[in-house]
Amino acid sequence: MPTPTAPLILGSESPYRAAVLATTGLPFTQAAAAIDEAAHKHSLHTQSPEALALGLAHAKGAAVSALHPEAIVIAADQVCAFENQLLSKPMTADVAIQQLTQLANRSHQLINGVVLYQHGKGLWGTTHTCTLHMRALTDAEIAHYVHCDEPYFSCGAYKFESLGIHLFSEVEGTSDAIQGLPLLPLLSAMRAHELYTL
């Protein structure tokens, strides 16, 4: 059983990231990062999508680590980039339908920023990009999908780990990264910093 060298905290309330991290067998708890995400996004709005995702991940990691300095903190953020624009979580059915109509029959990128913190210091951080090719969809298919899966709080207006997988013809990236937590670079960094043992 893999064992962290200190308490491990996922600095996110996301059930999707928690489900991904749980597949590693590492015991962890979750703690929300008390940051003003909108303010951070505004301060970073002139940056690249990669810099934005990584900057938000660092803000979250620093906030959680400040409250739990002994713990190993994993924090992440994901942005959806489409034709030089960033798509936010849709929050409503109408916006979800609008976003999926834009994405249908086109490609977009999901860009993850992931960091490790301990004792209030960033130990490591990286970005990881997945490219997803959405198939052509009719208006009826989009409306039916949104009604069934309710992807209102999902980047890009779909839940890839659920019915959203039916929307795609091809993806360049792993399922864990698409869900917001690329495990292979994360675990490699944790091993390099001797943060867990097998």
State how beta strands 121-134 and 168-172 pair: antiparallel
Residue 96: CB partners within 8 Å, gap ≥ 6?
90, 146, 151, 152, 157
Evaluate whether 81 touches 136 at the Cβ level (below 8 Å).
Answer: no
Residues with catalytic roles? 77
Instruction: State CA 82 to chain mean position distance.
Output: 16
Nearest to 59 by CA among 39, 86, 89: 39
DSSP E strands: which ranges in the chain?
A: 3-4, 8-10, 29-30, 72-82, 85-87, 107-118, 121-134, 168-172, 196-197
